Structure 1
Protein backbone atom coordinates (compact mmCIF):
# COMPACT_ATOMS: atom_id res chain seq x y z
CA UNK A 1 0.00 0.00 0.00
CA UNK A 2 1.04 3.57 -0.59
CA UNK A 3 1.32 6.37 1.95
CA UNK A 4 -1.46 6.74 4.51
CA UNK A 5 -2.75 3.24 3.67
CA UNK A 6 -4.24 4.31 0.36
CA UNK A 7 -4.71 1.66 -2.29
CA UNK A 8 -2.33 2.44 -5.12
CA UNK A 9 -2.61 -0.53 -7.46
CA UNK A 10 -4.44 -3.69 -8.38
CA UNK A 11 -2.50 -5.92 -5.98
CA UNK A 12 -3.23 -3.57 -3.06
CA UNK A 13 -6.89 -3.64 -3.98
CA UNK A 14 -7.01 -7.43 -4.40
CA UNK A 15 -5.33 -7.88 -1.00
CA UNK A 16 -7.75 -5.47 0.69
CA UNK A 17 -10.74 -7.25 -0.85
CA UNK A 18 -9.43 -10.67 0.20
CA UNK A 19 -8.86 -9.51 3.79
CA UNK A 20 -12.32 -7.95 3.91
CA UNK A 21 -13.94 -11.02 2.37
CA UNK A 22 -12.22 -13.28 4.93
CA UNK A 23 -13.47 -11.06 7.77
CA UNK A 24 -17.00 -11.19 6.38
CA UNK A 25 -16.73 -14.99 6.10
CA UNK A 26 -16.05 -15.07 9.84
CA UNK A 27 -18.83 -12.62 10.71
CA UNK A 28 -21.43 -14.07 8.32
CA UNK A 29 -20.52 -17.69 7.53
CA UNK A 30 -23.89 -18.32 5.86
CA UNK A 31 -22.89 -15.83 3.16
CA UNK A 32 -19.56 -17.40 2.20
CA UNK A 33 -19.32 -17.30 -1.58
CA UNK A 34 -22.60 -15.44 -1.98
CA UNK A 35 -21.75 -11.77 -2.06
CA UNK A 36 -22.04 -8.95 -4.53
CA UNK A 37 -19.89 -5.82 -4.69
CA UNK A 38 -20.74 -2.12 -4.77
CA UNK A 39 -18.15 0.10 -6.43
CA UNK A 40 -17.38 2.91 -3.96
CA UNK A 41 -18.75 6.13 -5.42
CA UNK A 42 -19.17 4.11 -8.65
CA UNK A 43 -15.40 4.20 -9.25
CA UNK A 44 -13.87 1.10 -10.86
CA UNK A 45 -10.28 2.31 -11.18
CA UNK A 46 -7.15 2.50 -9.06
CA UNK A 47 -4.06 4.58 -9.71
CA UNK A 48 -3.63 7.88 -11.48
CA UNK A 49 -2.63 9.03 -14.91
CA UNK A 50 -0.59 6.48 -16.85
CA UNK A 51 -0.85 4.07 -13.88
CA UNK A 52 -4.66 4.10 -13.78
CA UNK A 53 -6.15 0.58 -14.10
CA UNK A 54 -9.60 -0.92 -13.90
CA UNK A 55 -10.32 -3.50 -11.23
CA UNK A 56 -13.48 -4.86 -12.88
CA UNK A 57 -11.70 -8.18 -13.69
CA UNK A 58 -10.90 -8.65 -9.98
CA UNK A 59 -14.55 -8.11 -9.08
CA UNK A 60 -15.57 -10.57 -11.82
CA UNK A 61 -13.40 -13.23 -10.21
CA UNK A 62 -14.46 -12.64 -6.60
CA UNK A 63 -18.15 -11.72 -6.65
CA UNK A 64 -21.38 -12.76 -8.36
CA UNK A 65 -21.80 -9.18 -9.56
CA UNK A 66 -20.58 -5.62 -9.09
CA UNK A 67 -22.93 -2.65 -8.93
CA UNK A 68 -21.74 0.52 -10.63
CA UNK A 69 -23.49 3.73 -11.68
CA UNK A 70 -24.09 5.11 -15.19
CA UNK A 71 -27.86 5.74 -14.81
CA UNK A 72 -28.81 3.03 -17.28
CA UNK A 73 -30.84 -0.17 -17.19
CA UNK A 74 -29.41 -3.58 -18.05
CA UNK A 75 -30.36 -6.03 -20.78
CA UNK A 76 -30.24 -9.35 -18.85
CA UNK A 77 -28.93 -11.18 -21.93
CA UNK A 78 -25.99 -8.83 -22.39
CA UNK A 79 -25.22 -7.28 -19.01
CA UNK A 80 -21.64 -7.49 -17.77
CA UNK A 81 -22.44 -8.60 -14.23
CA UNK A 82 -19.02 -7.48 -13.02
CA UNK A 83 -20.02 -3.90 -13.90
CA UNK A 84 -23.80 -3.72 -13.62
CA UNK A 85 -25.31 -0.31 -14.24
CA UNK A 86 -27.63 1.30 -11.71
CA UNK A 87 -29.61 4.44 -11.07
CA UNK A 88 -28.65 6.52 -8.05
CA UNK A 89 -31.72 7.44 -6.05
CA UNK A 90 -31.23 10.95 -4.72
CA UNK A 91 -34.30 13.06 -4.17
CA UNK A 92 -36.48 11.56 -6.90
CA UNK A 93 -40.22 11.42 -6.40
CA UNK A 94 -41.92 8.02 -6.32
CA UNK A 95 -43.67 8.78 -9.62
CA UNK A 96 -40.31 9.42 -11.33
CA UNK A 97 -38.87 6.13 -10.07
CA UNK A 98 -42.00 4.22 -11.04
CA UNK A 99 -41.74 5.68 -14.55
CA UNK A 100 -38.09 4.60 -14.68
CA UNK A 101 -39.06 1.06 -13.66
CA UNK A 102 -41.87 0.94 -16.21
CA UNK A 103 -39.57 2.11 -19.01
CA UNK A 104 -37.14 -0.65 -18.10
CA UNK A 105 -39.95 -3.21 -18.04
CA UNK A 106 -41.09 -2.19 -21.52
CA UNK A 107 -37.57 -2.83 -22.79
CA UNK A 108 -37.25 -6.15 -20.94
CA UNK A 109 -34.45 -4.68 -18.85
CA UNK A 110 -33.25 -5.10 -15.28
CA UNK A 111 -33.49 -1.78 -13.45
CA UNK A 112 -31.12 -1.51 -10.48
CA UNK A 113 -31.90 1.25 -7.98
CA UNK A 114 -29.17 2.43 -5.60
CA UNK A 115 -30.46 3.93 -2.35
CA UNK A 116 -27.96 5.40 0.12
CA UNK A 117 -30.23 6.82 2.77
CA UNK A 118 -33.93 6.93 3.46
CA UNK A 119 -35.56 9.88 5.20
CA UNK A 120 -32.85 12.31 6.16
CA UNK A 121 -29.62 10.38 5.71
CA UNK A 122 -26.75 11.18 3.33
CA UNK A 123 -27.84 11.28 -0.34
CA UNK A 124 -31.33 10.62 0.83
CA UNK A 125 -34.66 9.63 -0.56
CA UNK A 126 -37.58 10.97 1.44
CA UNK A 127 -39.29 8.27 3.49
CA UNK A 128 -42.69 8.99 1.97
CA UNK A 129 -41.31 8.67 -1.57
CA UNK A 130 -39.54 5.41 -0.71
CA UNK A 131 -42.75 4.04 0.80
CA UNK A 132 -44.55 4.94 -2.44
CA UNK A 133 -42.01 2.97 -4.48
CA UNK A 134 -42.26 -0.03 -2.15
CA UNK A 135 -46.08 0.06 -2.25
CA UNK A 136 -46.00 0.15 -6.05
CA UNK A 137 -43.61 -2.82 -6.22
CA UNK A 138 -45.76 -4.77 -3.74
CA UNK A 139 -48.85 -4.03 -5.82
CA UNK A 140 -47.05 -5.19 -8.99
CA UNK A 141 -45.34 -8.23 -7.43
CA UNK A 142 -46.90 -10.63 -9.95
CA UNK A 143 -45.45 -8.59 -12.81
CA UNK A 144 -42.22 -7.13 -11.43
CA UNK A 145 -39.55 -9.07 -9.58
CA UNK A 146 -38.14 -6.81 -6.86
CA UNK A 147 -35.26 -8.85 -5.47
CA UNK A 148 -31.92 -8.17 -3.89
CA UNK A 149 -29.09 -7.26 -6.21
CA UNK A 150 -27.38 -10.55 -5.36
CA UNK A 151 -30.47 -12.70 -6.01
CA UNK A 152 -31.30 -11.14 -9.37
CA UNK A 153 -27.66 -11.15 -10.48
CA UNK A 154 -27.34 -14.83 -9.51
CA UNK A 155 -30.43 -15.68 -11.54
CA UNK A 156 -29.13 -13.76 -14.57
CA UNK A 157 -25.71 -15.35 -14.22
CA UNK A 158 -27.25 -18.83 -14.41
CA UNK A 159 -29.28 -17.88 -17.50
CA UNK A 160 -26.16 -16.45 -19.15
CA UNK A 161 -24.26 -19.67 -18.39
CA UNK A 162 -27.12 -21.70 -19.88
CA UNK A 163 -26.89 -19.64 -23.09
CA UNK A 164 -23.13 -20.17 -23.35
CA UNK A 165 -23.57 -23.93 -22.80
CA UNK A 166 -26.02 -24.23 -25.71
Structure 2
Protein backbone atom coordinates (compact mmCIF):
# COMPACT_ATOMS: atom_id res chain seq x y z
CA UNK A 1 0.00 0.00 0.00
CA UNK A 2 2.74 2.44 0.92
CA UNK A 3 4.57 1.81 -2.37
CA UNK A 4 1.35 2.40 -4.33
CA UNK A 5 0.56 5.57 -2.39
CA UNK A 6 4.13 6.80 -2.90
CA UNK A 7 3.91 6.09 -6.65
CA UNK A 8 0.66 8.05 -6.92
CA UNK A 9 2.15 10.92 -4.90
CA UNK A 10 5.05 11.08 -7.36
CA UNK A 11 2.68 11.04 -10.32
CA UNK A 12 0.53 13.79 -8.82
CA UNK A 13 3.63 15.83 -7.97
CA UNK A 14 4.63 15.63 -11.63
CA UNK A 15 1.22 17.07 -12.52
CA UNK A 16 0.84 19.83 -9.92
CA UNK A 17 4.16 20.18 -8.05
CA UNK A 18 2.48 19.81 -4.64
CA UNK A 19 3.58 17.74 -1.64
CA UNK A 20 1.81 16.65 1.54
CA UNK A 21 -1.17 14.79 0.15
CA UNK A 22 -4.27 13.76 2.01
CA UNK A 23 -5.64 10.25 1.90
CA UNK A 24 -8.89 8.39 2.46
CA UNK A 25 -8.41 4.78 3.49
CA UNK A 26 -10.17 2.54 0.95
CA UNK A 27 -13.49 1.47 2.49
CA UNK A 28 -12.17 3.08 5.71
CA UNK A 29 -9.83 0.09 6.16
CA UNK A 30 -6.47 0.81 7.74
CA UNK A 31 -5.29 -2.78 7.37
CA UNK A 32 -4.00 -4.85 4.48
CA UNK A 33 -3.60 -8.59 4.91
CA UNK A 34 -4.39 -8.19 8.61
CA UNK A 35 -1.61 -5.62 9.12
CA UNK A 36 -2.36 -2.03 10.11
CA UNK A 37 -0.36 0.30 7.85
CA UNK A 38 -1.07 3.67 9.51
CA UNK A 39 2.22 3.74 11.41
CA UNK A 40 4.07 2.78 8.23
CA UNK A 41 2.49 5.77 6.50
CA UNK A 42 3.52 7.91 9.46
CA UNK A 43 7.15 6.69 9.37
CA UNK A 44 7.53 7.19 5.63
CA UNK A 45 5.79 10.58 5.61
CA UNK A 46 4.01 9.66 2.40
CA UNK A 47 0.69 11.13 3.59
CA UNK A 48 0.15 14.31 5.60
CA UNK A 49 -3.46 13.70 6.73
CA UNK A 50 -5.79 10.73 6.34
CA UNK A 51 -9.50 10.15 6.83
CA UNK A 52 -10.96 7.01 8.37
CA UNK A 53 -14.63 6.15 8.34
CA UNK A 54 -17.39 7.00 10.69
CA UNK A 55 -21.02 7.89 10.82
CA UNK A 56 -23.04 10.86 12.03
CA UNK A 57 -21.13 10.68 15.34
CA UNK A 58 -17.86 11.59 13.55
CA UNK A 59 -17.90 15.13 14.92
CA UNK A 60 -14.45 16.30 15.98
CA UNK A 61 -14.38 18.41 19.13
CA UNK A 62 -11.01 17.61 20.71
CA UNK A 63 -8.33 18.55 18.20
CA UNK A 64 -5.58 18.43 20.82
CA UNK A 65 -5.67 14.62 20.70
CA UNK A 66 -6.61 14.23 17.03
CA UNK A 67 -4.35 11.83 15.14
CA UNK A 68 -3.80 13.47 11.72
CA UNK A 69 -3.65 10.02 10.11
CA UNK A 70 -6.88 8.78 11.72
CA UNK A 71 -9.31 11.67 11.30
CA UNK A 72 -12.91 10.50 11.68
CA UNK A 73 -15.19 11.27 8.76
CA UNK A 74 -18.86 10.75 8.01
CA UNK A 75 -18.73 8.10 5.30
CA UNK A 76 -21.96 8.29 3.35
CA UNK A 77 -24.16 5.36 2.49
CA UNK A 78 -25.86 5.00 -0.89
CA UNK A 79 -28.64 7.54 -1.51
CA UNK A 80 -28.38 9.33 1.83
CA UNK A 81 -31.01 12.04 2.28
CA UNK A 82 -30.38 15.79 2.48
CA UNK A 83 -31.78 15.95 6.01
CA UNK A 84 -29.11 13.51 7.21
CA UNK A 85 -26.30 15.63 5.75
CA UNK A 86 -27.74 18.89 7.02
CA UNK A 87 -28.38 17.40 10.49
CA UNK A 88 -24.72 16.30 10.58
CA UNK A 89 -23.60 19.84 9.75
CA UNK A 90 -25.95 21.24 12.40
CA UNK A 91 -24.50 18.90 15.02
CA UNK A 92 -21.00 20.11 14.11
CA UNK A 93 -22.22 23.72 14.40
CA UNK A 94 -23.86 23.14 17.78
CA UNK A 95 -20.67 21.89 19.38
CA UNK A 96 -18.32 24.25 17.54
CA UNK A 97 -16.40 21.34 16.11
CA UNK A 98 -15.17 20.10 12.78
CA UNK A 99 -16.92 17.64 10.50
CA UNK A 100 -15.53 15.80 7.51
CA UNK A 101 -17.91 14.33 4.95
CA UNK A 102 -16.64 11.68 2.53
CA UNK A 103 -18.51 11.62 -0.76
CA UNK A 104 -17.88 8.78 -3.20
CA UNK A 105 -19.99 9.80 -6.16
CA UNK A 106 -22.39 12.70 -6.61
CA UNK A 107 -25.10 12.00 -9.14
CA UNK A 108 -23.49 8.70 -10.15
CA UNK A 109 -20.55 6.37 -9.57
CA UNK A 110 -20.30 4.09 -6.55
CA UNK A 111 -22.13 4.82 -3.27
CA UNK A 112 -24.06 7.58 -4.94
CA UNK A 113 -25.25 10.79 -3.32
CA UNK A 114 -28.07 12.10 -5.51
CA UNK A 115 -27.31 15.46 -7.15
CA UNK A 116 -30.36 17.08 -5.56
CA UNK A 117 -29.28 15.96 -2.10
CA UNK A 118 -25.80 17.36 -2.66
CA UNK A 119 -27.31 20.63 -3.91
CA UNK A 120 -29.54 20.89 -0.82
CA UNK A 121 -26.42 20.59 1.36
CA UNK A 122 -24.62 23.24 -0.71
CA UNK A 123 -27.64 25.54 -0.41
CA UNK A 124 -27.66 25.12 3.38
CA UNK A 125 -23.94 25.85 3.57
CA UNK A 126 -24.34 28.92 1.34
CA UNK A 127 -27.18 30.27 3.51
CA UNK A 128 -24.94 29.86 6.57
CA UNK A 129 -21.60 30.93 5.14
CA UNK A 130 -21.11 33.55 7.85
CA UNK A 131 -20.97 30.88 10.55
CA UNK A 132 -19.73 27.78 8.71
CA UNK A 133 -16.26 27.52 7.23
CA UNK A 134 -16.19 25.14 4.27
CA UNK A 135 -12.68 24.02 3.38
CA UNK A 136 -10.81 21.20 1.77
CA UNK A 137 -9.69 18.45 4.11
CA UNK A 138 -6.11 19.67 3.79
CA UNK A 139 -7.00 23.31 4.50
CA UNK A 140 -8.99 22.33 7.59
CA UNK A 141 -6.28 20.02 8.89
CA UNK A 142 -3.52 22.56 8.24
CA UNK A 143 -5.54 25.01 10.36
CA UNK A 144 -6.12 22.43 13.11
CA UNK A 145 -2.47 21.40 13.28
CA UNK A 146 -1.25 25.00 13.33
CA UNK A 147 -3.70 26.11 16.02
CA UNK A 148 -4.03 23.21 18.43
Gaps of 5+ in 1: 1-12, 161-166
The structure whose Rg is larger is 1
TM-score by length of 1: 0.78
> More helix by proportion, 1 or 2?
1
Aligned length: 142
Q: What's the Cα RMSD here?
A: 1.5
Q: Corresponding residue for 2:97? A: 109
SS of residue matched to 1:62: coil
Residues 73 and 101, structure 2, Cα contact 8 Å, conserved in 1: yes
Gaps of 5+ in 2: none
Superposition misfits of 4+ residues, deviation over 4 angstroms: none
SS of residue matched to 1:66: strand
Q: 2:36 aligns with which of 46, 50, 54?
A: 54
Query: Equivalences for 1:144-155 in 2 at 5 Å?
Result: 144-155=132-143
Q: Corresponding residue for 1:39? A: 25
TM-score by length of 2: 0.87
Higher relative contact order (CA 8 A, sep 6+): 2
Q: Corresponding residue for 1:84? A: 71
